[in-house]
Amino acid sequence: MREIVFDTETTGLSPANGDKLVEIGCIEMVNRVETGKTYHTFLNPERPMDPAAFAVHGLSDSFLSDKPLFEDVVEDFLDFIDDSPLVAHNASFDFSFINAELAACGRLKVSMTRMVDTLVLARTKFPGAKHSLDALCTRFGIDRSHRVLHGALLDAQLLAQVYVELTGGRQIGLGLDPIARATIDFGDLNGNAADRPRSAPRPARVFAASEEELERHRAFIAKLVDPLWTMNDQEAEIDAGKAGA
């Protein structure tokens, strides 16, 4: 199953107040394994950055001034996410910004049924614990030493590892998970056995010793001095003689 783990950075906390996306980072996963395919872009929000948001991600107005608008990259973004489930931490926040940007471009919003929220998963699995991305990385032993500031692609990469741990760990593909099992193509296992392709049988392996090997074995045995089986034969003859006496 293909899934997209993603994160966003914004100018503030609410698209309803005019805040905009400034960065999107996406990681492709298939059956909970990263494929190496990513999508990443910075965006020009065409509005000033909130100081509190700048303190989080460090993306300044001057840095973003020459970056593309969302409408310039929307096709590439939609092509990458396709119709896959979208995994995010506190996903309703990211979905609200994505859908606000899509609506502004006259595009259909992403259905909330595609949303997988790792914050909800973490709260369910570890009630009462800390559920921030940093806290979950610490819990699962995921190295985040290179995370000085928030960054969409970096956070998506960390979240991908957290998501794997929250959904069963690296052994999820052993077939114990119904989601993983559902993605396996078992082929026509219930069809007529006679109709299934058959591979050519392997030739029988020869395990018997060759005549050359037998001869080497006899030559080796002939060199032994008083082998145990000879002594046993002699003892048997002695015992037989005693019995007949």
User: 40 an active-site residue?
Assistant: no
Here the contacts of 79-82 (C-beta below 8 Å, separation 24 or greater) are 80/4, 80/26, 80/28, 80/39, 81/4, 81/6, 81/26, 81/39, 81/110, 82/2
CA distances from 174 to 5, 49, 169, 179 (A): 22, 47, 11, 11
Nearest Cα to 5, choosing from 35, 20, 25, 22?
25
**Polymer length in residues for the chain:** 245
Residues 21, 98: contact at Cβ < 8 Å? yes
Catalytic residue (choose from 57, 89, 131, 150):
150
Three-state DSSP class for 45?
A: coil
- CA 167 – CA 179 distance, rounded (Å): 10
Residues 133, 7: contact at Cβ < 8 Å? no
Nearest Cα to 147, choosing from 132, 130, 129?
132
Residues 73, 101: contact at Cβ < 8 Å? no
What residues act catalytically? 150
